[in-house]
Structure 1
Amino acid sequence: MTDRFDAKDLARAVQAGILQPGQDQALLAFLRQQPAQRGSFQLAHVAFYFGAMLIMAAMGWLLTEAWMRIGDWALLVIASLYFLLLTLYAVNLQRREQPVAAGVLAAVAVSIVPLVVFAIERLAGWWPMDDAQADYHQYYTYVQSGWLAI
């Protein structure tokens, strides 16, 4: 069994009585009118994935290096703005029938959600500020409640 078939397969279906005479040609004409949708390896797709990794790395750098200097409000604004813009752009690309680029940008937008949650938790006082277990070295033996939302 295969998902691909041709005019010979349809002719055999007519001979077997599965299709009425003439239906095979009508079905074949209908299928030929449909746009071909085949996956392909393209350099543009590689560029999309590389760009997505670059954006994720930059946002990770922002969290690890710059958030103490810019403050929680700035982190919330920047991360929320990135999330909003990337989501809107992904929706726009999806409408323009570019599913690979749209999916990659949507994945990048989702990767920024933990930054937004982290900033909200710090501003709301839900993130423990003076806890001795504030680093990730003992994550598996002592999980902070703030980490669960992220």
Structure 2
Amino acid sequence: MKIYQEDLDWAVSQGLITAEQANALWNALSVRNSERPQFNFANVTFYFGALIVISAMTWFMTLAWESFGGSGIFLLASIYALCFVLAGSNLWWRQEMKIPGGLLFTIAVSLTPLAIYGLQRTTGFWTQGDPGTYQDFYLWIKGSWFLMELGTIIAGLVAINFVRFPFLTAPIAFSLYFMSMDITPLLFGEKTYNWQLRLLVSLWFGIACIVVAYLVDIRTRRRDGDYSFWLYLFGLLAFWFGLTLMGDSNEFQKFLYCLINLGLMLLSVLLKRK
């Protein structure tokens, strides 16, 4: 429920509280909510800039980086991440600018797969053979990407333990979504798994992610921000796409699919999630 100043003015007109109490309450709520993400020009600009940097360091990465070699990629990614962490620490703790500070920490976490890729390229250690260039990480499903995704999840959890910033769950949820696809060839082998098996793993992985999101939701109760939104979103993507692409011409399965989608709508109401 959102509260506006007009609501407090109405409460004053009804004699429920005094005008002094309404002003004190509004000022206290304004201070309390000042660190939460708000839809204003400054925050939109902060987030837009962060997304540009994350995009440049992830799926817009070109083959030019391969010329640095594995050790060069690892070193450059680590230096970038360290700079973002130092700048984010200054904004978060010294300047009390939580939004830009938290976004810089998020950028640092997003550089984790690139750093791990460089380290693996240097050592030659892959869980399932050489997967190709870093660009392929966002294009092809391969078991060798697993450590990059696992490392990003761990880095995100470590960061969120020190910096209570909800958007840090975005790279965690994104990596979980990719992991739901890449873990299938790792578990069953490149030659033995098929399309249906991959969809089945994605479906159950999505269910598990939604359950985790619910547990996070009821534990945090959105006191300091929404830490479960991205987990819900990517968990639902993994579940729904796996379920949808598994469909065939069986009429009963189509009817069951319809009921599941109606159930998701009901679930959104029960969880109060749009």
Cα offsets for 1:53-102 (capped at 9, x unmatched): 22223323784322221222221111001111111211211112212112
Task: Give the TM-score taking structure 1 as reference length.
Answer: 0.64
**What corresponds to 1:108 in structure 2?**
107
Question: 2-side partners of 1:56 and 1:29: how far apart?
Answer: 41
**What corresponds to 1:121 in structure 2?**
120
Higher relative contact order (CA 8 A, sep 6+): 1
**Is 30-39 or 74-83 further displaced after alignment?**
30-39
- Pair 1:8–1:58, CA change in 2 (3 A): closer
CA contact (8 A) 1:90 1:105 kept: yes
- Pair 1:110–1:147, CA change in 2 (3 A): same
**What corresponds to 1:92 in structure 2?**
90
Match 2:81 to one of 80, 83, 99: 83
Task: Give the TM-score taking structure 2 as reference length.
Answer: 0.39
**What corresponds to 1:67 in structure 2?**
65
Please list, as runs of the form range in 1=range in 2, the aligned pairs for 1:1-150 lying within 5 A after superposition: 31=25, 34=28, 36=30, 37-38=33-34, 39-42=38-41, 44-60=42-58, 63-95=61-93, 96-127=95-126, 131=130, 134=132, 136=136, 139-140=140-141, 143-144=142-143, 146-150=144-148
Equivalent AA in structure 2 for residue 124 of structure 1: T
Higher alpha-carbon Rg: 1
CA contact (8 A) 1:63 1:115 kept: no
Cα offsets for 1:14-70 (capped at 9, x unmatched): 9xxxxxxxxx9xx8797577472353512x222212221222233237843222212
CA contact (8 A) 2:69 2:122 kept: no
**Is 54-63 or 110-119 further displaced after alignment?**
54-63
- Pair 1:8–1:139, CA change in 2 (3 A): closer
| 4+ aligned runs moved over 3 Å, structure 1 | 1-10, 27-35, 60-63, 133-140
